[in-house]
Amino acid sequence: MERARLKRASLFALREPIPRRVALAVTVGVFATLAVAWVVLSYGGFVRPLFLPTPTAVLERAVFLYREEILVRDIWISNVRVFSGFLMAMVVAIPLGMLAGNLPIFAAAVNPFMGFIRYMPVPAFIPLLVLYAGIDEAPKILLIFIGTAVQMTIMVGDVTRRVQPELIRAAMVLGADSREIFRKVIWRGSLPGIVDVMRINLGFAWTYLVVAELVAASEGMGFRILRSQRFLQTDTIFLYILLIGLLGILFDFAFRQLHRFAFPWIRERVRG
């Protein structure tokens, strides 16, 4: 009895690991609770379908949109937009962040400027982007680029700055020059952190999707959500929001697996 009580209490011990099965049960429990609440509230007729469509309605909607060849197309085009903007941001932010994080002259150039842009509301750029880049894919991709590149640069800078100075000193003593230190120590040492930054920023990129597809879009997940609002198609809105959430879980999982296989040196612990 006493043991059982102690055991239960230990599930709430600060920073103590809990059994895998318990963790899994809690995670599944949260999703299950939400699902049950949805089922009860919608089928039970507690909430009007306009506000909360039934799971059946959402599924039917999914089948319908799939048959109309809208669903896959929407998912595809939104992914293209998000990843185009995101990859552009990566190309700019990773080198810039590394330089700003490690060379004071770049820090002086980049950091205050990024601070200046960082608080600007991204949607406010839409009129300018339309003016400069037209109404095709360009402004949508640029919007996602602007939304993520700034945060990404700052975060990459932070991560690369956190490579221990002892490692840099050790490399210097072993005869490495600045370029070699950048490549062989700072880059290699901060790569796991950079992958984490990418994981977090991909989430940001998706949150800008709806905003990006405000711009003269005729397809895409964000566009579909906005249009469904006009026609009061709550079931479509639910469907797409859930799908974006699922995509998020998928990408997060992919990044975590990448982390796991690409950086075995973090996980490996003392043998025996």
Say whether residue 175 binds another protein (CB under 8 A).
Answer: yes
Does position 180 interact with another protein (CB under 8 A)? The reply is: yes
Q: Which stretch binds another protein (CB under 8 A): 78-86, 161-169, 200-208, 213-221?
A: 161-169
Of 177, 187, 208, nearest in space to 94 by CA: 187
Interface with another protein (CB under 8 A), residue total 25
Name residues contacting another protein, limited to 78-137 (CB under 8 A): none
Pick one of 13, 124, 174, 249: the residue that binds another protein (CB under 8 A). Answer: 174
179 touching another protein, by CB under 8 A: no
Nearer to another protein, 67 or 269 (CB): 269
In the bound complex, what is the minimum distance in angstroms from residue 42's beta carbon to another protein?
50
Contact region with another protein (CB under 8 A), list: 30-38, 48-56, 174-182, 200-208? 174-182
Binding residue for another protein, selected from 171, 195, 226, 258, defined by CB under 8 A = 171
Question: Which of 70, 176, 195, 226 contacts another protein by CB under 8 A?
Answer: 176
Q: Which is nearer to another protein, 184 or 227 (CB)?
A: 184
First to last CA, the chain: 34
Six token digits for residue 16: 């103590």
Listed ranges 53-61, 97-105, 226-234, 258-266: which one lies at the site for another protein (CB under 8 A): 258-266
Cβ distance to another protein smaller for residue 10 or 164: 164
Contact between 223 and 76 (Cβ < 8 Å): no
Pick from 1, 14, 124, 270: which binds another protein (CB under 8 A)? 270
Site for another protein in 215-244 (CB under 8 A): none
The owner of tokens 């100075």 is 165
Distance (Å, whole) CA 215 – CA 126: 7
In angstroms, give the least distance from the CB of 162 to another protein.
Answer: 13
Residues that bind another protein (CB under 8 A): 164, 166-167, 169-176, 180, 184-185, 188-189, 191, 263-266, 268-271
